Amino acid sequence: MPVVDVDPDELRDLTGRTEKTDDELKDDLFGLGIEYEGETEDGKLRLEFEADRLDRLSITGIARSLRYQYGDLSGIYVPDTNDPEWTIEVAESVPDERPYVTGAIVRGLDLDETDLEAIIQLQEKLHATMGRKRAKGAIGVHDLTMLKGAPADGGAGKSIRYQGVEPAGDRFVPLDSDAEMTPAQVLTDHSTGREYADLVSDYERYPAIYDDIGLFSFPPVINGRRTEVSTQSRDLFIEMTGTDQWTIDKMLAIMVYALDARGGQVESVTVDYPDRSVVRPDLSLSQKTLAHETVEDTLGLSLSPEELHDLIDRSGLEIAAERTEDGTRAYEVSIPPYRVDVLHPVDLIDDVGRAYGFNNLVPRYPDVSTVGGRTEASRHEEAVRDLLVGLGFEDLLNFNLTSDGELFDRMGLDREADAFGAGEPPRLIESYSEDFTHLRTWALPSLMQVLENNTHRAYPQHLSEIGFVAQVDSSTVTNVAEGRSVAAVLAGPEATYEDAKGRLQVLADHFGVDLTTPATDHPSFIDGRVAEIRLDGDSVGVIGELHPAVLVEHDLEVPVAGFEFELGALR
């Protein structure tokens, strides 16, 4: 999930709550679903939040959410926008792979180093999340005074051009360089160019943005040095290119709101495509219908219309219309343009719940004649979990979503292999992050990631998880075979196959199943130190010492032994 570094003093200034202590700020942030993850060396708070609330990638966005929570703001604020003076003209030569562009101007800024760092952090966090590491959307921020606009078509205003350029075509000086380079040279000779070369290297023509002087931006790779932003910059030109118009328009809205909060005046830009013309930024509001009864049923509250109005206002939303049909009251709720997460009315109910305060909800028994309890499967899983903890493992709960690379490439496993964990993972058609694109087919990669993130901790580290796994299976009604898996790793200087086997044997004995471990091959494990797990004669998993290549891939310097098998096999 995204993590941003925030200066607590600046956050107090932006919220107007200078009396708040750091601990009080952390509590208030937690109420918004923003978790404290530690501090940087210079005392900034490291804050982690859900990947869908991308408007909180900036400190101004976090401050805005807090001010709504405090009741200092209500309803929807839309920045005033001046009429366009500049035009982005889109040429026919623009690469088909990256056809979309958007932009805005923000004037009258007074930036210091802190402001500049915050803008850069927001830009890079948007690249990493919504922009899919610049593949879906990339942002360029330029000093407007360093641009020379050509006369726009029709003679009114100034224009720049988004067009294609030959790899060995026009030259420019990229950021962090003193030498003129062609786009092709940037991809081979510049560190940033090499990092993002894969995004455009297969294009016949590269994307480029020109003013009347020449090439000044090579999206999605790097900007030109001529338009570099500094603390002396007062007027900024923001351009974004990408593969999807909606994505870059929403990224632009988030940037515009952040700069508006720093005192800038937003100015529209006209985008002239060959077949149409649009004005950006798009700060129009969207709407969702929300039934009063649904809010009450979901949250377990009884709210008057006035109370619900207030909670919606304090969520940064606004009721545009209200109606009653067949005795049911419903609202048309307006949603600000920086909210990319509202896909369903339940997202609005979540906002209402946070405005009310989830900690203020009073638990109560449901109005039914029976009392719920754990299923047999749940009790069995809890028994296995308790035994693992008794064997010295620390119980974990990892995400069910991961990436193709984590499941296979980093584990040295081919998805087509005849091995435990291989298979076709269910894929999300539209994911918010490249880190969470697939349901996991096995749980050991998740435990390896935890070990990778805890190399600074003392050893030994014994971790276990009982979690959800899935594979594409056309023989099922849903085309997905779902299951629960038991996985465990032992990491430390003395970790061996025998250590893992001993704990596995205790599990088998406790649940009265016969365990055998015939030798097998598995690319994630060391040859000769890996075995198949058979419980009551059925092949249900794998056990062994992780392969050195897998350890190196996860930056681990100690041996790791582990096992994974189907939970149902212990019954």
Determine the length of the chain. Answer: 571
Q: Is 13 annotated as a binding residue?
A: no
φ/ψ region of 475 (left if φ > 0, alpha if ψ in -120 to 50, else beta) reads alpha
Contact 192, 224 (CB under 8 A): no
Residue 174 preceded by cis peptide, ω within 30: no
State the helix-helix crossing angle for 345-356 and 292-299, rounded to 10 degrees: 60
How far, in Å, CA of 396 to CA of 426, rounded?
23
Contact 124, 290 (CB under 8 A): no
Geometric angle at alpha carbon 213, from 280 and 96, rounded to 5°: 50
Beta strands across the sheet bearing 45-48: 3-6, 45-48, 35-39
Q: Is 351 annotated as a binding residue?
A: yes
On the 0-12 / 13-18 / 19+ scale of CB atoms within 10 A, 43 is exposed
Q: Is 347 annotated as a binding residue?
A: yes
Beta strands across the sheet bearing 461-472: 394-395, 461-472, 480-491, 560-566, 538-546, 525-535, 515-516
Q: 9 phi and psi, to 5 degrees?
A: -65, -40
Contact 533, 542 (CB under 8 A): yes
Tokens of 500: 């893992």
174: which DSSP letter? B
HEC readout, 269-285: EEEECCCCEEEECCCCC
Q: Is 235 annotated as a binding residue?
A: no
Binding site members for Mg(2+): 341, 347, 350-351
Binding site members: 341, 347, 350-351
